[in-house]
Amino acid sequence: MFRHLGRVALLAVSTLFSAVLVAPPASADPPIDTYGEPYPLCGAAGETDGQYCVQSFLRNGVKVTPPPASAQQGTYDDPYVTSAGDAGVMFGVVRTTVDNGGRSSAREVDPAATWSVTVNTGSIVPRQLNGRVRDLQFVRGGSAATGHWFRVTFRPTPVAYADFDDEGPCVAGYWCGEDTTVATQVLKGYADAGVDDGTAWADVPELLGGYAGYTYVTNALDYAALRDADLNALEVKLGNPHLRAPGVRATGYYETVLPDEMMRREFHVVNPAALSKSSLPVRRVGSSSPVSYTVNRERGAVRVIIKDIGFSAPVYRIRPLPTPPGTPPGTTARRIDRHHVRMTFHAPRDGGARVTSYLARCRARTGGWHYARKAASPVTVGQLPRGKVSCHMRATNRLGAGSWTTLRRR
């Protein structure tokens, strides 16, 4: 039932996949780590512990029936879940036709159907999902003891597609096509699901080892989403999103879910929960025309959807507007003599603009503030009265001053 595409097609759909499949310790059923080897059904022959296997694959809520080995005639939706080596776990649906016992597969599947796949990945924690799907829902669960799992619910999306050996304007399948391009094949449904063992993010336990639910999906033939550190932006590149079928135009879209932890760590956003359309603008590179997009808050994340894409290979920038910096973490205040307090701290989220200075101030229970400003830790406040004083500090960038830290008495 669960099959994999040929090597050429699998390469074509996994090239831009960025998560890594890390092998855990040996178990009764080891993880799939051979390129193209399909995951077994949980409970199938040879599968003993319910881990590293496919728990279910549903079409419109009904379990999919694979083409029987004895079938002589018929066309079937044939889902697959497979390892792609270092690329992670891939899943999708192909259309299998049986003719007098012979089998052939195509990518044309019903774009109106809703699919749901649940996969147990053992001790490997699912991290992110990339693909060409619609109406995406990505859920994770489980534990190291029972096996981690992910469930993805989606609808296939029509995409003009060309294999590596195709001829014509889409040869090699990447960054091809103009508004008049006629594609040679149609890809109507697939997605990749990435997994990671989580060691890189062990200090973020609430995320189970990664950016929980980080996804991006599109109906473009080719796509890439990369962080531009210089611009503090997510740069999205799409290729050929306007063809629905050979010679048939379609409107393109791109959708991404950006977890709050990613916005804090990667994009220096001080308060991700406050992100909105006005504070997270989307611009098309090289054009002054407005972009049709939405920004929606979800639990622990923000979802950005770019709609009505009618360009062959557009580039978009999703860039949070800079804000004043966050509160400096790890702040301490220590008396170094009768009249001086030294404050130490770590650099805060800069809000997308370089921190220019740190202002510290102290005062006795009554009396005025004594100030000191510096470009880095530590900051020493002097001319203080003897006895207990209360001190705090804040960071400043070109957008203004951030919040004060909690008062500390010394």
Give the pairing type, strands 301-309 and 252-259. Answer: antiparallel
Q: In the prediction, which pLDDT does 275 show?
A: 97
Collect all residues with Cβ–Cβ distance below 8 Å to 316 and sequence separation of at least 6: 235, 236, 238, 254, 282, 283, 284, 285, 291, 306
pLDDT of residue 122 exceeding 50? yes
Gap between the Cα atoms of 408 and 410, Å rounded: 7
- 292 with 389, same domain? no
Q: Are residues 105 and 226 in the same domain?
A: yes
Question: Which pLDDT band, with edges at 50, 70 and 90, does 100 fall under?
Answer: confident
Same domain for 230 and 376: no
CA 313, CA 315: separation in Å to the nearest integer?
7
Q: Is residue 190 part of a domain?
A: yes
Q: Which of 318, 348, 371 is the last residue of a domain?
A: 318
pLDDT in tens, 244-261: 666 677 788 899 989 888
Q: Look up residue 204 and give its amino acid.
A: V
191/110 same-domain check: yes
What's the CA angle centered on 245, arms 67 and 315, to 5 degrees?
115
Judgement on whether residues 310 and 342 belong to the same structural domain of the protein: no
Residue 265, pLDDT > 70, answer yes
Is 308 contained in some domain? yes
Alpha-carbon span 166 to 176, nearest angstrom: 12
How is residue 139 written in tokens?
Answer: 């859920």
> What's the rounded Cα separation, in Å, for the pair 138 and 399?
36
Least confident range from 163-177, 255-269, 354-368, 394-408: namely: 163-177
Q: What is the tally of structural domains in the chain?
A: 2
Q: Are the CB atoms for 91 and 119 separated by under 8 Å?
A: yes
389: pLDDT confidence band, cut at 50, 70 and 90? Answer: very high
Domain carrying residue 374: 332-409
CA–CA separation, 131 and 218 (whole Å) = 7
H/E run at residue 14: helix 7-14
DSSP 3-state assignment of 172?
A: helix
pLDDT at 233 over 70: yes
Give yes or no for a contact between 354 and 399, defined as CB atoms under 8 angstroms apart. no
Residue 344, classified by CB atoms within 10 Å of its CB into exposed (0-12), middle (13-18) or buried (19+), is middle
Query: Pick the residue with more confidence: 272 or 99?
Result: 272
CA gap 405, 410 in Å, rounded: 15
Confidence of residue 170 (pLDDT cuts 50, 70, 90): very low
Average pLDDT over residues 302-316: 88
Average pLDDT over residues 194-222: 51
- Are 284 and 350 part of one and the same domain? no
The amino acid present at 142, given as its one-letter code, is G
Residue 2 counted as domain residue: no
DSSP string of 45-90, one letter each residue: TT--SS-SEEEEEEETTEEPPPPPTT--EEEEEEEEEEE-GGG-EE
**179 belongs to a structural domain:** yes
Residue 385 confidence class, pLDDT cut points 50, 70, 90: very high
Query: Would 325 be classed as within a structural domain?
Result: no
The whole-angstrom separation of Cα 333 and Cα 118 is: 51
The mean-pLDDT minimum among 27-41, 47-61, 195-209 falls in 195-209
**46 shares its domain with 122:** yes
d(Cα 52, Cα 146) in Å, to the nearest integer? 11
Left if phi > 0, otherwise alpha if psi is -120 to 50, otherwise beta: which for 233?
A: beta
Is the pLDDT confidence value at 25 over 50?
A: no
Between 325 and 191, name the one with better pLDDT: 325
Same domain? For 23 and 117 the reply is yes
Cβ atoms < 10 Å from Cβ of 125: 25
Task: Please report, rounded to a whole number, the percentage of residues in the chain having pLDDT higher than 70.
Answer: 75
Task: With beta carbons less than 8 A apart as the criterion, state whether 13 and 82 touch.
Answer: no
Q: What is the pLDDT of residues 267-283, one digit of tens each?
A: 999 999 999 999 999 99
Domain assignment present for 238: yes
Q: Are residues 345 and 262 in the same domain?
A: no
Average pLDDT over residues 68-94: 75
The token pair that represents 133 in the structure block:
């799907």
For residues 81 and 87, the answer to whether their CB atoms sit within 8 Å is no
Task: Average the pLDDT over each of 95-99, 267-271, 361-365 and give the range with the smallest value.
Answer: 95-99
Residues 203 and 122 in one domain: yes
- Which candidate, 216, 178, 206, places its Cα nearest to that of 314? 178
Query: pLDDT value at position 11?
Result: 21
240 in any annotated domain? yes
Average pLDDT value over all residues in the chain: 78
Residue 245 near residue 186 (C-beta atoms within 8 A):
yes
**Does pLDDT of 262 surpass 90?**
no
Q: What is the pLDDT of residue 144?
A: 83
Q: Read off the pLDDT of residues 331-342 as tens digits, 9 standing for 90 and up.
A: 999 999 999 999
Q: Identify the CATH number of the domain in which residue 367 sits.
A: 2.60.40.10
Question: What is the mean pLDDT of the segment spanning 100-110?
Answer: 73
Position 176 scores a pLDDT of: 53
Q: Do 170 and 122 share a structural domain?
A: yes
145, with CB counted inside 10 A (0-12, 13-18, 19+), is exposed
* Confidence at residue 357, expressed as pLDDT on a 0 to 100 scale: 98
Please tell me the distance from the alpha carbon of residue 71 to that of residue 57, in angstroms, as a whole number.
21
| Structural tokens at position 24 | 């855990």
CA distance 310 to 282: 16
Statement to judge: residues 288 and 366 lie in one domain = no
What is residue 20's predicted lDDT score, i.e. its pLDDT? 29
Asked which of 294, 318, 342 is the last residue of a domain, the reply is: 318
CA distances from 17 to 84, 86, 226 (A): 10, 9, 12
Q: Is residue 324 part of a domain?
A: no
Domain end (from 265, 286, 318)? 318
- Give yes or no for residue 23 having a pLDDT over 80: no
How far is it, in rounded angstroms, from Cα 102 to Cα 98?
5
pLDDT, average across residues 274-303: 94
